[in-house]
Amino acid sequence: MEQSAVDTLLGWQSALRLEAVAAKLRKRGFEVEVCANREAAGARVLAMAASAQSIGFGGSLSVACLNLTRTLRDAGKEILNHGFPNLTAEERDLIRRRQLTCDLFLSSVNALTDEGVIVNVDGVGNRVAAMIYGPRHIVLVVGRNKLVKGDVEAALNRIEEVAAPVNAYRLGCKTPCAATGACAHCAGHNEGSICRVTTVIRQRPLYSAVTILLVDEDLGL
């Protein structure tokens, strides 16, 4: 059997898994769409952005993979991205605060369980705050690599083993994991730690409009 045939078989299984998670998320009150790939997810975000003026970016690599900034800017949208280069600390802070009340906030998640529970670990907290309450519309772009089998503990394991150490390295943090690639549980006693806040979202926050795009492709960390 050729690899392309194997990929087709694995794709069948992956699509079924995403549909199953989508059903669980809908029962938890979220709007959910399954997208075959990043291009399809990007098209959906652009469609949802049509009625928005201010677009907040939570610092997600998954969202960055969609390459939407130029298109949105050309459409006259205000881009609120604290990750743009050459910003002062004050400018980054102001942008983060404005993300909390933007029209459309774009982010991903650190882990999503097969039961539809969203788990995040954050350092600043602006990302998790904005995905809970504030923006008119919150869109979470979630690649299939973010799915975990099991409970919140399994989600936290994924974050500890993959997302947090690699993000710490990417961001140039002064943490043990940024040097070794492995978590040394520095939260609570290291000024450089990016693991300061943990959120578990079990249901759509009561007054928030949240759409989750499940992407049948690996995206982000």
3-state class of 216 per DSSP? coil
Angle at CA 218, nearest 5°, toward 120 and 127? 25
Angle at CA 129, nearest 5°, toward 58 and 210? 75
Residue 197 CB, nearest distance to ligand SF4 (Å)?
Answer: 11
Binding ligand SF4 (rule: CB under 6 A), the pick from 176, 211, 213, 220 is: 176
The verdict on 111 binding ligand SF4 (CB under 6 A) reads no
Residue 164 CB, nearest distance to ligand SF4 (Å)?
Answer: 3
Residue 178 CB, nearest distance to ligand SF4 (Å)?
Answer: 7
Binding ligand SF4 (rule: CB under 6 A), the pick from 156, 186, 201, 213 is: 186
The verdict on 221 binding ligand SF4 (CB under 6 A) reads no
**x/- track of binding to ligand SF4 for residues 125-164 (CB under 6 A):** -----------------------------------x---x
3-state class of 34 per DSSP? strand
Q: Which of 189, 186, 149, 188 is nearest to 168 (CA)?
A: 186
State which residue, 18 or 186, has the beta carbon closest to ligand SF4: 186
| Cα end-to-end span (Å), the chain | 31
Query: Do 217 and 38 touch, CB atoms closer than 8 A?
Result: yes
The verdict on 177 binding ligand SF4 (CB under 6 A) reads yes
Extended beta strands in the chain, E state: 31-35, 54-57, 78-81, 104-107, 111-113, 118-122, 137-143, 147-148, 197-201, 210-215
The whole-angstrom separation of Cα 34 and Cα 106 is 16
Give the interface segment with ligand SF4, choosing from 12-20, 27-35, 66-74, 184-192 (CB under 6 A).
184-192
The verdict on 193 binding ligand SF4 (CB under 6 A) reads yes
Residue 159 CB, nearest distance to ligand SF4 (Å)?
Answer: 8
Overall size of the chain counted in residues = 221
Residue 131 CB, nearest distance to ligand SF4 (Å)?
Answer: 19
State which residue, 75 or 200, has the beta carbon closest to ligand SF4: 200
Task: Kindly list the residues in this chain that would bind ligand SF4 in the complex (CB under 6 A).
Answer: 160, 164-165, 168, 175-177, 183-187, 193-195
